[in-house]
Amino acid sequence: MNSSANKEKIGLGIDLGTANLLVYQDKKGIIFNEPSVIAFDRESGKVVAAGIDAHRMLGKVHSKIAVIKPLRSGVISDMRAAKSLLTYVLSKIDNLSAKAMETSTCVICCPSEVTKIERDVMIDLASKMSITDAFIEEEIKAGALGAGIDIFKSKGAMIVDIGGG
């Protein structure tokens, strides 16, 4: 019998934004909200810091450390850095083992203007992180749903997403 079938699926929401990375987990709410920045040791490739700790290093490190913002204008510009950032952050969150990720349902938010190719890159990123049940949703639609707006009614509503990029 498959042991993962006995485990409850974890519902995740990931907003990999130009400015911040947010991770939402069902029944827990937002469990991570820090800058979308990662720092690597250039020689070993090892992650030195991520999030706020990496952001504090911007412009203050020696040549052996690379501090990278993996998104530009809401789009992944450095796939390796984006994958490393997500993998590192998710590995630091309690109860999100690699096995838990395999049984997770994940919604990844993206700007409305991203292309199909860019959406495919995000799905590929989720796949590389062992997330088999991943969906891409527009940030503005996810924001409306999060605000309790019924997006299927023919009633006007205004959502403003100023973003960080």
Instruction: Give me the architecture of the 3-138 domain, per CATH.
Output: 2-Layer Sandwich (3.30)
Residue spans per domain, the chain: 3-138
Residues 55, 38 contacting (CB under 8 angstroms): no
pLDDT tens sequence for the chain (165 residues): 444 444 567 788 888 888 999 998 888 889 899 999 999 999 999 999 999 999 999 999 999 999 999 988 777 888 889 889 988 888 877 666 566 666 678 898 888 778 888 888 888 888 877 787 888 988 888 888 888 898 888 888 888 877 776
pTM (2 d.p.): 0.78
Residues 110, 149 contacting (CB under 8 angstroms): no
